[in-house]
Chains A and B, each alone.
Chain A
């Protein structure tokens, strides 16, 4: 795997205080390099989702700055996957995936081709006419991923996308996500509270402190890709999990004292 080094977005000393006075982030410094798969790991309520929403521009930081390397940065370059599939129940799968293109008033024929390609990539080519309620949770999440990919985004933001799925489905989607990432060479920021999931997927894990969220540790997982079941059961994987768990434990203790 060739290592990219150019930063595409960086959050500098970002703070976020909500209207009711909850401080979600304080002094949060975080940079993402082009093409990397990085996870934000922390206990629930540590502000990792807030950080992701700030990157997406869905939430404005109360302090600090968000800097994009590319000045031409615009909405079409970000794909967002929520914890829930967040599909429109009245629209079929193809219409749901087409939504970002429709909102951008893309040309019909081009949009049709992009939708077909995105659906094929997540293995749902045969389900274009199905309605969300007719699909399983895992399939709905695949539709959500296809929708995020349809604009060909430079950066894919995922907010605990597999947290609500059963373990078998989660492992399967983890593998599918990794192969998509290797094929498309996009940058991924993946928010999770699972040590095991973050180690399996990421090149780098940013461990966050409990609220107010800040970076506690930045841990590289240099294991090569493709990663598969063999990696999941290897001693190497277990070692990384121990390392990350220990860091997470220290982050929690540091907050308690």
Chain B
């Protein structure tokens, strides 16, 4: 079999095996659905609760997208600012790191006290997602070929020309790598905040739906919501990978197929 067929076929085979095993375990042990539903029941719930879950999915995706956009703008903007001014970098970078290393689960309850819930959820998505964009873009902006910088100096390039024509394009691969990480993280941030908010009351995102279903012992719906969350995460990852590939395919080693 060809390499490509194996790469697609094997994961599907593993998936089928695991689902089959899961189904067999539930049936043979007569496990009740409020402990562990069969895969079939999860799937049926996905369809019967479709409207509700889709609405929740939409809410979570919107928060994720907003958080991601703010993280991208904030991370890239701050990285550019850092590359232009050492003083700004020295002043702010430690706090960017602090924000990153403080677990967002611990920040979320506090944010929920001071901000309206949708805003608090958004803030969480932003906090976890912006740092990889900032760190990667900063790395990209500062690791430009010194000779190319010398060349720009030789031709008396302005600061703006240096940034726009050299540093930003040179940093693009790292920037895109940061965005790819940020995509998944902003989903995680949104979910964490929704879970934290879930115990506090109102909410309609997927993670809130999971928490709520848990309280009601509606285990099939928990699984269905979890499945949707995973699919959303996978879709985000592939969308950003495709974007990265499109942007780099002509020139960057990471996107160019190796000749054999």
**A: which residues have CB within 8 A of B?**
53, 56-58, 75-76, 78, 80, 82, 84, 86, 88-91, 99-100, 102-104, 131-133
Q: Tell me the bound Cα distance from A113 to B152 in angstroms.
A: 22
Residues of A within 8 A of B154 (CB): 56-58, 75, 78, 80
**Contact present for A90 and B169 (CB under 8 Å):** yes
**CB < 8 Å neighbour of A103 from B145, B155, B172, B252:** B155
A75 touches B156 (CB 8 A): yes
Known: A89-B251, A133-B251. A103 touches B153 (CB 8 A): no
B153 to A99, Cβ gap below 8 A?
A: no
When the two chains form the complex, which single residue of B147, B155, B172 contacts A100, counting CB atoms closer than 8 Å?
A: B155
Q: Taking the complex as formed, is B148 at the interface, i.e. its CB lies under 8 A from any CB of chain A?
A: yes
Contact B172 A58 (CB under 8 A): no
Q: Considering the complex, give the chain A residue whose CB is closest to the CB of B162.
A: A103
B155 cross-chain contacts in A, Cβ below 8 A = 75-76, 99-100, 103-104
A86 touches B153 (CB 8 A): no
Q: Is B52 an interface residue (CB 8 A)?
A: no
Q: Chain B interface: which size bin?
A: 20 to 34
Instruction: Find chain B residues with CB under 8 A from A132 CB.
Output: 251
Contact partner of B150 (CB less than 8 A), chosen from A58, A102, A131, A133, is: A58
Query: What residues of B have a CB within 8 angstroms of the CB of A82 in the complex?
Result: 147, 150-151
Residues on the B chain within 8 Å of A103, using CB: 152, 155-157, 161, 165
Enumerate chain A residues within 8 angstroms of B250, measured Cβ to Cβ: 90, 131
Number of A-B contacts defined by CB within 8 Å: 54
Say whether B243 faces chain A, with CB atoms less than 8 Å apart.
Answer: no
Chain B, 134-152, contact with A by CB distance < 8 Å: what is the 0/1 string? Answer: 0000000000010110111
The interface residues of chain B lying within 8 Å CB-to-CB of A91 are 169
Contact of B256 among A80, A84, A133 (CB under 8 A): A133
Bound-complex Cα distance A76 to B157 (A):
12
Closest CB-CB distance, B176 to chain A, in whole Å? Answer: 12
Question: Would you call B165 and A84 a contact (CB within 8 A)?
Answer: no
B181: chain A residues at CB < 8 Å are none
Q: Within 8 Å CB of A75, what residues of B?
A: 154-156
Report which of B148, B161, B169, B172 forms a contact with A86, defined as CB distance below 8 A.
B148
A76 to B165, CA, bound (A): 18
27 residue pairs bridging A and B, Cβ less than 8 Å apart: A56-B154, A58-B150, A75-B154, A75-B156, A78-B154, A82-B147, A82-B150, A84-B147, A86-B147, A86-B148, A86-B151, A88-B166, A88-B169, A88-B170, A89-B251, A90-B169, A90-B170, A90-B250, A90-B251, A99-B151, A99-B165, A103-B157, A103-B161, A104-B155, A104-B156, A132-B251, A133-B253
Which residues of the partner chain A approach B256 to less than 8 Å between Cβ atoms? 133
Chain A's closest residue to B250 (CB) is A131
Closest CB-CB distance, B179 to chain A, in whole Å? 17
Question: Which residues between 234 and 260 of chain B lie within 8 Å of chain A, taking CB atoms?
Answer: 250-253, 256
List A contacts of B165 (CB < 8 A): 99, 102-103
Tell me the complex Cα distance, A97–B154, Å.
15
CB of A88 within 8 A of CB of B148, answer yes
Among B150, B153, B155, B165, the one with the most A-chain Cβ atoms within 10 Å of its Cβ is: B155
- Given the known interface contacts A86-B145, A90-B251, A131-B251, the answer about A80 and B151 at a Cβ–Cβ threshold of 8 Å is yes
With a cutoff of 8 Å between Cβ atoms, the chain B residues found around residue A57 in the complex are 154
A100 contacts across to B, CB distance below 8 A: 155
Q: Which residue of chain B has the shortest Cβ distance to A87 in the bound complex?
A: B148
A92 nearest CB neighbor, chain B only: B250
Interchain nearest-CB distance for A8 vs B (Å): 17
Determine the distance from Cα of A78 to Cα of B157 in the docked complex, in whole angstroms. 14
- Chain A residues lying within 8 Å of B166, measured Cβ to Cβ, are 88
The answer to whether A89 and B147 touch across the interface, beta carbons within 8 angstroms, is no
A88–B148 Cα gap in the complex (Å)? Answer: 8
For B151, list chain A residues within 8 Å (CB). Answer: 80, 82, 86, 99
Return the CB mask of B116-150 against A: 1 if under 8 Å, else 0.
00000000000000000000000000000101101
Q: Which residues of B contact A53 (CB under 8 A)?
A: 150
Min CB distance B173 to A, Å, is: 9
Q: How many Å lie between the Cα of A79 and that of B232 in the bound state?
A: 53
Question: From residue A93, how far is it (CB to closest CB) to chain B in Å?
Answer: 12
In the bound complex, CA of A76 to CA of B154 (Å): 9
Interface centre among A86, A100, A103, A104 (most CB of B within 10 A): A103
CB proximity of B155 to chain A, nearest CB, Å? 4
- The A-contacting residues of B in range 194-230, CB under 8 angstroms, are none
Could you tell me the distance between the alpha carbons of A132 and B251 in the complex, rounded to whole angstroms? Answer: 8
Q: Which 8 A-B pairs have the closest CB atoms?
A: A86-B147, A103-B155, A75-B156, A89-B251, A90-B169, A103-B157, A82-B147, A90-B251
